[in-house]
Amino acid sequence: MPDKEVLLTVKNVSKEFPVKKNKLYAVSDVSFSVARGETLGLVGESGCGKSTLAKMIAGSLPVSSGSIILDGRDYTKLKAREFRQFRRNIQMVFQDPLSSFSPRMRIGTYLCEPRINYDHISRQQAMEEAARLLEQVDLPVEFLQRYPHELSGGQLQRVAIARAIAIDPKLLICDEATGALDVSIQNIIAKLLVNLVEEKNIGCLFIGHDLALVRSVTQHIAIMYLGRIVEYLDSETLEEECLHPYTKALLEAIFDVYCDQNEEIKLLTGEPPSPLVVHKGCPFAQRCERCTGACSESLPLLEEAGPGHLVACFNPL
């Protein structure tokens, strides 16, 4: 990223959970960076470690090893009091917005809280800023007096985004932020996020299952499998230049309304191996048609396959 300032750097981050006498390896040796004004997509099957990684970056889950640097500062080493002030720089938007609202709290109060708590401004001033926040996410000011149950899912998600940007964070993490919404609303929310990231020149980590949607709102995509990043490349060239068999399988799972109805659907067989076991070879080997002896014996490392393109595979496409 020679033309952009790097905002977030994740270096060799791992997370292990104790499970009786074993360890569950949720995230293993993950590294990437996000520039200002850029959105990085993180895609993979359920259970691959996307949300665990997001929680570590947000600071709600401690790392087992590695470092996470935001704007030149490794905040995994901060003490509790220092981190309470630092965490305003990182905000999250979750999949189900309703679960983050109190049913007895009006939207205006919900939007005022961050500014009052962090910046100690008056309630009147906070309410004025809350009105401006609603305008930024294309919602009417009258919503300040409404309760969460009076809004639709898409409207609630816009309010959640408004609250996330209320204290001017440097990094926005969207964990399946559009997953519970209708397709038409997904596009509206996605475009809103893209505009906000560009206007405020912040970084964004966009996590999702829908590879087509993630590709449309990001500049780069990291493909994650069983706690590891197996491919990293530009979103624009994803379909033409992907090299990892797993990435190809995810692309083949995207259905187009104009697709050939008689064409055979290619399914990825098998299940990911247990994260309770340290695998000797490639974790995707048992599901891969290109598997050879080397794949079962050694773990492929993430290596450069081209400018800005990394892949972890012994037999790339």
pLDDT of residue 300: 93
In a domain, 83, yes or no: yes
In a domain, 61, yes or no: yes
Entry pTM: 0.91
In a domain, 303, yes or no: yes
pLDDT of residue 280: 83
Range of the domain at 41: 6-99+169-311
In a domain, 156, yes or no: no
Residue 121 token pair: 């401004």
C-alpha span between 232 and 42 (Å, rounded):
9
Tally the domains of the chain: 1
pLDDT of residue 224: 96
Residue type for position 106: R
CA 24 to chain centre: 21
Tell me the residue length of the chain.
317
Helix (H, G, I), strand (E, B) or coil at 23: strand
In a domain, 104, yes or no: no
In a domain, 23, yes or no: yes
Residue 222 · residue 190 · CB < 8 Å:
no
Residue type for position 263: E
pLDDT of residue 213: 87
pLDDT of residue 177: 85
In a domain, 70, yes or no: yes
What residues pair up with 35 in beta bridges, in sequence order?
A: 6
Residue 111 · residue 133 · CB < 8 Å:
yes
pLDDT of residue 1: 42
Specify the CATH number for the domain of residue 256. Answer: 3.40.50.300
pLDDT of residue 212: 84
In a domain, 138, yes or no: no
- Segments in the chain below pLDDT 70: 1-3, 256-260, 265
pLDDT of residue 257: 64
pLDDT of residue 279: 75
